[in-house]
Amino acid sequence: MKEYEKSHKLDHVCYDIRGPIMEEAQKMIRGGEDILKLNIGNPAYFGFRCPDHIVDVMARSLPDTEGYSDSKGRVSAREAIVKYCEEKKIPNVGLDDVYTGNGVSELISLCMQGLLNDGDEVLVPSPDYPLWTASVTLAGGVAVHYVCDEASNWYPDVADIRAKVTDKTKGIVVINPNNPTGALYPKEILEQIVEIAREHDLILFADEIYDRLVLDGKEHVALASLAPDLFTVCLNGLSKSHLAAGYRCGWMCLAGNKTNCKGYIEGLNLLSAMRLCSNVPAQSIIAKALASREETDELLRPGGRVYEQRECVYSMINDIPGLSAVKPEAAFYIFPKMDIKKFGITDDEQFALDLLKQAKILITHGAGFHWGAPDHFRIVYLPDVSILTSACKRIATFFSTYKQSSWFCAFFEGAVSRFS
């Protein structure tokens, strides 16, 4: 019989957040083992709930949301998003510049498909949210990864961005606040990225879905607010800030100067129409959600659940010999670094599998975020403090005896002695 293989378009595509290690975890769960999933930012799994008054709005709207909406979304939802853009000082966004989506994930794919021809390049951060690299690749483009510098609070290395611009570069992706590091980028860094885009006439892609999940009283600066003369695609949604991940409620806004992007916008309109529309009941809650952010703010203050969980995981991870982590300033992720000499780690996917089998904890290894060295992993710190405390103790116990490969340690030590 003829065998059917997967498309070669998928040859360089990965999404390890839900990849092979998670598949192994599911097998273990089916076998009766209790696995703590710290691999995915799903608030509902950890007991968070969308506020009742927002759920009530959706429930009441159901009889009026049974049909398709306009392909870009309901007018009431888009009007609320335009108002939010004004609040964030995002320039030149009108009703027709807003597209609602089934989460931001759908819109990331859509905006790459509408832009890229084979061989076109897009600058994407490393570490990144892997859907960006996957979407660039599936659209026929090449994701060129610029480095975010752990020694500088995980801020983008602006010199590295500048060095990687070529005549094939179409745009720069900025994920701020960042997933997986939890970094919040200062205005000065964003201005330097904007200047590079200005010099080379590039499109900016601003993934800002965590902009309402900022800790320590700090303020998020919208990238488009610094670039009124450039074209910026802004992406946001309610999955995280309003604990409504399952509702799949996101949006995309076209901001700034659209003069040289008319053809691209035509492509986006075509792709938006082809998928008919996004989830209409979810669109019904956008206006209410954006007008009521008090519950989210409460979680982020000292004494609030997310704040205290951040404090717990940051302190306990840094107390484990051989681990260190930069303190996250936003979102709910931390990206610890491992001493690979101490633990003999050459393969971070194998490390993640070992942690799963021995400690019954599921995390995502750094390579899953296109990080080049096998020395990082991401923890989602959404569990309450008691569960996080137990998890960190299990991680500490695991690392107290962990050695991935004795030959690597001997090789490393030998190399050091030869060059010292």
pLDDT at residue 15 in the model? 63
**What does the block give as tokens for 163?**
């060095």
Domains of the chain, first to last: 8-48+298-419 (3.90.1150.10), 52-292 (3.40.640.10)
Share of the chain above pLDDT 70, in %: 94
Determine the average pLDDT of the residues in 81-90: 97
How many C-beta atoms lie closer than 10 Å to residue 290's C-beta? Answer: 19
Lowest mean pLDDT among 9-13, 84-88, 96-100, 157-161: 9-13
3-state secondary structure of 73: coil
Q: For residue 123, which phi and psi values (nearest 5 degrees)?
A: -80, 125
pLDDT at residue 416 in the model? 41
Is the separation of the CB atoms in 121 and 169 below 8 Å? Answer: yes
d(CA 119, CA 110): 18
* pTM score, whole prediction: 0.91
Q: For residue 100, which phi and psi values (nearest 5 degrees)?
A: -80, 155
Is the separation of the CB atoms in 389 and 316 below 8 Å? Answer: yes
pLDDT at residue 16 in the model? 56
3-state secondary structure of 320: coil
DSSP string, 110-177: HHHHTT--TT-EEEEEES--HHHHHHHHHTT-EEEEEEEEGGGTTEE-HHHHHHT--TTEEEEEEESS
End-to-end alpha carbon distance in the chain: 60
Q: What is the rounded average pLDDT for all residues in the chain?
A: 92
Q: For residue 147, which phi and psi values (nearest 5 degrees)?
A: -85, 135
Chain centre to alpha carbon of residue 135: 13
pLDDT at residue 40 in the model? 86
Residue-wise pLDDT tens digits, 270-326:
999 989 989 999 999 999 999 998 999 999 999 999 999 999 999 999 999 999 999
How many C-beta atoms lie closer than 10 Å to residue 56's C-beta? Answer: 12
pLDDT band at 5, cuts 50/70/90? confident
d(CA 227, CA 256): 7
Task: Identify the CA nearest to 211 among candidates 86, 77, 88.
Answer: 88
Residue-wise pLDDT tens digits, 143-192:
999 999 999 999 999 999 999 999 999 999 999 999 999 999 999 999 99
d(CA 362, CA 364): 7
Which residues contact residue 15 at a Cβ distance below 8 angstroms, ignoring those fewer than 6 apart?
130, 131, 134, 368
Q: Is the pLDDT of residue 213 over 60?
A: yes
Task: Identify the CA nearest to 92 among candidates 211, 261, 250.
Answer: 261
Q: Is the pLDDT of residue 253 over 70?
A: yes
Determine the average pLDDT of the residues in 61-78: 93
pLDDT at residue 410 in the model? 46
pLDDT band at 52, cuts 50/70/90? very high
